[in-house]
Amino acid sequence: MNGGRGSPDRTPSPRADACVIGSGPAGALVAHRLASRGYNVVVLEAGPRFDPDSRTDRMERAIRPGDARSVWDGGGERDAFSSSGERFYPLNAARVKGVGGSTLHWQGMVMRLHESDFRRASRGEGDADWPVDYDDLRPYYVAAEEALGVAGSDDNPFGPPREEPFPLPPFPPSHSDSLFAPACERLGIAMHSVPNARNSEAYDGRSACVGYGTCQPVCPSGAKYSADVHVRKAEREGARMIDRAPVGRLATGRGGDRVEAAVYATPDGTEHRQEARQFVVACGGVETPRLLLLSENDDHPDGLANGSGLVGRYFMDHLFAGVFGTLDRPTRQNHVGFLTSETHQFYDAPGRAVEGPDGVAVPASDADLAPFKLEFFNYAGPSPVDLALSADEWGDDLLASLRDAYGNHVGVGGLVAQRPRRENRVTLDPSRTDDHGNPVPDIQWSLDARARRTIERANAVQRAILAEMGAEIGGAVGPTDTGPAFHHMGTTRMGTDPDESVVNPRLRTHEVANLTVASSSVFVTGGAMNPTLTIAALALKAADHVAADL
Amino acid sequence: MELTRRDALAALAGAGILGSGGAAALARERADADGPGRSESGQPNQSRSEQPDLPSTAAVVETLVAVAGVVYPSAVDGVREFVETFARRRLEADPEHRRGAREAVADLDAHVVISFDAERFRDLDPELREEALSLVGTRTAEPARDGTAAERVRYYLVNDLLFALYSSPTGGRLVGIENPQGHSGGIESYRRGPDG
């Protein structure tokens, strides 16, 4: 036993078929699929296993100011990072280290990439196509939707073709959506439902959503999918989960063409080696390249599987664009913390004109623009309880202020795609180390003119919608103050040419025979769709390939 | 608008008290209602479980009721029962929070002794309580679990009460939202219009 009396056993398993590093959605799904096929699986997770009963307390932390503890116990020396790029990258704002990973925090929006996303270079929009296409991923998308329990409706006229209904019925549109609908109809903008990894009815042993309204950063009811679900399923199939076991490096054998062991530390400071036949790195778009870079050795002097020099390069995120305003009537915001309507109408036609009853609201553009999608907010404006807890008045004065501040806000948000660029990258910062003495990740991130231009374009459409509703525009998030959606992608890109990519279409690294990457880091382009469903689909695909080799 | 037991239970659920160990807390609630610690005469009682130099749980509850008279709007009724139900169970179920609240009451009372002709905040005439809270600096203090006296009074007393009220159905309805953040009010209200 390791770690002293009462501590869980964190010593390595003597015989493992597969070692999975990371227990977010990718790692959890890989572990479950392999374990359910009878393989001996060990999962190494840097963070802790959270008690599900602690989630309500974490929700209170999220709502109430004054508690220095982060909702999911992140930050500190363990999660230290640098951001030396043109724009500061707030890495810890939305990531969770622990069993379930950042799905504990996420919003839970799960769209498939569009067919065009796999062919951006062929469309003249990027430097590379994906080496797989939509049809290759299609069966895995179906399986991923079933695994996560996606509530949705096949009502998106702009989405990719589907073959089966969603596992769960969609969340019906909100009252707020009904305020947008007439204006959008007059402008020729089609609204449609949002696929949610959130139970619209009981599913897979988890309850239906009960409306806490705090989906991001925590769902106390467990109705929102989080990857700890599949960790538990994997464990029931015989997989072994070792938490608080950060992997510091992957050690290769003679010749460097196979990983022999994942070298990890336990809370008491002991270093262990987990050996396995196959290794799957599933640590997201930042920690995955970091681990490969930390694993440099004589055979891999620039980092493991980094003969191309591309490990860490082409870091991408989605950029937020939004316009907000107020109406002269109640809009019923903040009852729930999720979205029920959006539009993908501009995704493959970002320059299309918007025309309304009074003429052209947004002229057509032939400028080079990126895909973007628009989201109709159900939580625009302040939440009364948030306001109350930070107010400097109380009693009747406070109530009057709350009534004045709440009730008539509207907002249209959106995500804008970012083209892969070599200079956007994750490297190691040798000047700064984490709690185990390993150099921290340095995120170098910037926006190009195309992204800025597209954010302006999204803002123009958003303003046109609010104007058509008769809203008084109150503010906008544009190119200057945009921020990331915390969708880390692209740092171990997939491809067929070992000089131009890190992993092959089987998600196996070109240079290390038993090393697979299951992560958004393999994305060649990121589109403007929330990435987790594609992460899940790729993870299931990766698991099939690993199983075939075991 | 009447605050109900349902509101108190909703506030407890929002604070993570019900549903996980809450039943045991409920069973112990009444036994603790007259709790150890300082008696109403002001003399401290000795207890193995409570530090005698800090106000008792019961004293904290009484102080919270008095603070609610300041920070709650006049439009709500049933404040005492709501606060007692919410606060007693919460303090019982969360020892760390209880200690913070007791320390905050001790700090508040200490300020009252200096500035007013009274030993405890809850002994002040109601019209003086708002002045006392303001003098401590609570109105403008940033809430902080581990902050200064004013910051902790804001966190453990004022904001505990505001969180309980405005995350409850009745508190939300005062503002126009019957399913406020932190309350598990279901997934119908977001679809209803203002007249629905």
pLDDT in tens, B2-13: 888 778 877 777
- Angstrom distance (rounded) from CA A439 to CA A296: 12
Arch. (CATH architecture) of A18-164+173-549: 3-Layer(bba) Sandwich (3.50)
CB contact under 8 A, B180 and A334: yes
Give contacts of A54 with chain B, Cβ < 8 Å: 16
Instruction: Give B48 or A114, the one with higher predicted confidence.
Output: A114
Mean pLDDT, range B134-151, rounded to an integer = 94
- Percent of chain A scoring above 90 in pLDDT: 97
Q: Which residues pair with A224 in a beta bridge?
A: A198
Do A186 and A311 touch, CB atoms closer than 8 A? no
Contact map slice: B 64-83 vs A, CB within 8 A: 70-75
pLDDT on residue B22 = 39
A75-84 tens-digit pLDDT: 999 999 999 9
* CB count in 10 Å sphere of residue A353: 13
CB–CB of A418/A318 below 8 Å? yes
- Per-residue confidence band for B48, with pLDDT thresholds at 50, 70 and 90: very low
Chain B residue numbers with beta carbons less than 8 Å from the beta carbon of A336 are 179, 187, 190
pLDDT of B196 strictly over 80: no
Q: Which residue of A has its CA nearest to B157?
A: A389
Does residue B131 sit within a domain?
yes
Main-chain phi, psi angles of A330, to 5 degrees = -65, 140
CB A532 within 8 A of CB A197: yes
For A510-528, b where at least 16 C-beta lie within 10 A, e where not — what string?
Answer: bbbebbbbbbbbbbbbbbb
* DSSP element (H, E) containing A475: strand A472-477
Could you tell me if residue B92 is inside a domain? yes
A484-509: per-residue pLDDT in tens? 999 999 999 999 999 999 999 999 99
Model pLDDT, residue B52 = 61
The per-residue pLDDT of chain A, averaged, comes to: 96
Distance of residue A71 Cα from the nearest chain B Cα, in angstroms: 14
Contacts of B99 (CB under 8 A, 6+ apart): B54
Residue A55 has pLDDT above 90, yes or no: yes
Residues of chain A positioned with their CB less than 8 A from the CB of B13 = 56
pLDDT, one tens digit per residue, over A358-405 is 999 999 999 999 999 999 999 999 999 999 999 999 999 999 999 999
pLDDT tens column, A508-537: 999 999 999 999 999 999 999 999 999 999
Residue to test with chain A: of B187, B188, B192, B195, most A Cβ within 10 A: B187
Spatial CB neighbours of A339, under 8 Å, sequence gap ≥ 6: A107, A109, A194, A196, A375, A376, A377, A378
Residues of chain A above pLDDT 70, percent? 99
Pairing of strands A341-343, A192-193: antiparallel
The 3-class secondary structure across chain B, one letter per residue, is CECCHHHHHHHHHHCCCCCCCHHHHHHHHHHHHCCCCECCCCCECCCCCCCCCCCCHHHHHHHHHHHHHHHCCCCCECHHHHHHHHHHHHHHHCHHHHHHHHHHHHHHHHHHHHHCCCCCHHHCCHHHHHHHHHHHCCCCCCCCCCCCHHHHHHHHHHHHHHHHHHCCHHHHHHHCCCCCCCCCCCCCHHHCCCCC
Contacts of residue A56 in chain B, CB cutoff 8 Å? 13-16, 19-20
| Residue A243 to residues A22, A256, A330, A549, Cα–Cα distance (Å) | 9, 28, 47, 27
Q: What pairs with residue A360 in β-bridges?
A: A355
Burial class (CB in 10 A: 0-12, 13-18, 19+), A122: exposed
Helices (H), A150-304: 175-187, 228-236, 284-294
Cβ–Cβ gap A332/B194 under 8 Å: yes
DSSP A380-423: -S--HHHHHHH-S--HHHHHHHHHHHSS-EEEEEEEE-----TT
The mean per-residue pLDDT over the stretch B108-124 comes to 95
pLDDT over threshold 60, residue A415? yes
Q: pLDDT value at position A544?
A: 98
- State the pLDDT at residue B20: 39
Contact A25, A145 (CB under 8 A): no
Q: Tokens 């921020």 label which residue?
A: A483
Q: Which residue of B has its CA nearest to A210?
A: B186
Residues in chain A with CB shorter than 8 Å from the CB of B21 are: 53
The 10s digit of each residue's pLDDT in A274-291 is 999 999 999 999 999 999
Query: What pLDDT was estimated at residue A5?
Result: 55
CA gap B74, A64 in Å, rounded: 23
Counting every residue, how long is chain A?
550
* Structural domain boundaries, residue B130: 5-184
Instruction: Establish if B177 belongs to a structural domain.
Output: yes
Alpha carbon distance A474, A177 (integer Å): 19
Q: CA A282, CA A348: separation in Å to the nearest integer?
A: 30
Q: Could you give the C-alpha distances from A434 to A184, A297, A418, A428, in angstroms and in order? A: 50, 20, 29, 11
Nearest Cα neighbor of A289 from A318, A315, A252, A255 is: A315
Q: What is the mean pLDDT of residues A173-183?
A: 98
**pLDDT confidence band for B18 (50 / 70 / 90):** low
User: Is residue B194 in some structural domain?
Assistant: no
User: CB contact, 8 Å: B127 with chain A?
Assistant: no
Q: Which tokens sit at A301?
A: 């002097």
Q: Tell me if A335 and B179 make a contact (CB, 8 A cut-off).
A: yes
Residue A142 has pLDDT above 90, yes or no: yes
Residue B140 neighbours by CB distance under 10 Å: 11
Residue A151 host element (H or E) = none
Task: Residue B144: list chain A partners with CB under 8 A.
Answer: 66, 68
Q: Residue A426 belongs to what H/E stretch?
A: strand A425-433
Structural domain count, chain B: 1
pLDDT for residue A163: 85
Q: Per the domain annotation, does B37 fall within a domain? A: yes
Q: Residue A372 forms beta bridges with which residues?
A: A416
- Cα separation of the two ends of chain B: 19
Least Cα separation, residue A66 to chain B (angstroms) = 4
Task: Return d(Cα A234, Cα A73) in angstroms, integer.
Answer: 24
Share of chain B above pLDDT 70, in %: 81
Average pLDDT over residues B23-41: 36
Residue B67's DSSP bridge partners are none
What's residue B17's pLDDT?
A: 67
- What ipTM does this complex have? 0.93
Give residue for tokens 């150099």: A439
Stretch A125-145: mean pLDDT: 95
Sole residue written with tokens 């628009």: A374
Distance separating alpha carbons of residues B42 and B55, to the nearest angstrom: 9
- Tens digits of per-residue pLDDT, A2-38? 444 568 999 999 999 999 999 999 999 999 999 999 9
- Beta-carbon separation of B187 and A214 below 8 A: no
Among all residues of chain A, which has the CA nearest to that of B12?
Answer: A56
